[in-house]
Structure 1
């Protein structure tokens, strides 16, 4: 699984209020959502009239596909002409398949449960006894 994260720093020159800014951002966000299967949202500079920080994410099983989609998003935002792109940052992260990672349990595997209430009570008592020994409260520690 490949996760791509794109951050776009935008300058909205025509914005004279937050309402103008949000109107411009709405055009950008709706256009990107309509054309690409990505998540997109304003993620920073929320109260600054002429600046916006927009985050875009894409997930797929092919690294080059995710890279291509995010590059197309950048081109579309620039071509729309609603805002100037003043900065961009893209990261692609590859995650291995869960069955390939023996150190990580599968999501559908519940954690091991005690076999009975009696066993659970015994384990709890043993844990408490160990805790008391470690904190010098037990007969072996002699108190504080």
Structure 2
């Protein structure tokens, strides 16, 4: 069993208020949960910043190749959203 964990720092260029950023973040989380089943994600930092956030995403799988491909697909999905920029992404794996 392998657990994959991604920490993604995201920049939202559009929002001009915290309320606007939260609305945009909520929509992104909904899209990710709809597109990628059986993942866990949450805003883990940047709660009070109106143009940045840090998302934590985790997925469990049978092997590292599968988990890595899913996390890479998630990163690509976020990157392909024209209104979001990934500033930094870190991926770690824990094997049991």
The TM-score, its normalising length taken from structure 1, stands at 0.64
Normalized per residue, which structure has more helix?
1
Note if 1:82 corresponds to 2:91: no
Structure 1 gap segments, 5+ residues each: 96-144
Q: How many residues align?
A: 95
After superposition, residues 1-144 of structure 1 pair within 5 angstroms as 1-36=1-36, 37-95=38-96
Normalized per residue, which structure has more strand?
2
Q: Identify the residue that residue 98 of structure 1 maps to in structure 2.
A: none
Taking the aligned partners of 1:85 and 1:79, their CA distance within structure 2 comes to 10
Taking the aligned partners of 2:44 and 2:78, their CA distance within structure 1 comes to 16
Highest RCO, 1 vs 2 (Cα 8 Å, sep ≥ 6):
2
Taking the aligned partners of 2:43 and 2:82, their CA distance within structure 1 comes to 17
* 1:80 aligned counterpart, secondary structure: coil
CA-atom RMSD in angstroms: 0.8
Taking the aligned partners of 1:51 and 1:84, their CA distance within structure 2 comes to 10
* 1:87 aligned counterpart, secondary structure: strand
Structure 1 residue runs of 4 or more that deviate by more than 4 Å after TM superposition:
none
Between structure 1 and structure 2, the one with the greater Rg is 1
Taking the aligned partners of 1:25 and 1:55, their CA distance within structure 2 comes to 13
Structure 2 gap segments, 5+ residues each: none
The TM-score, its normalising length taken from structure 2, stands at 0.94
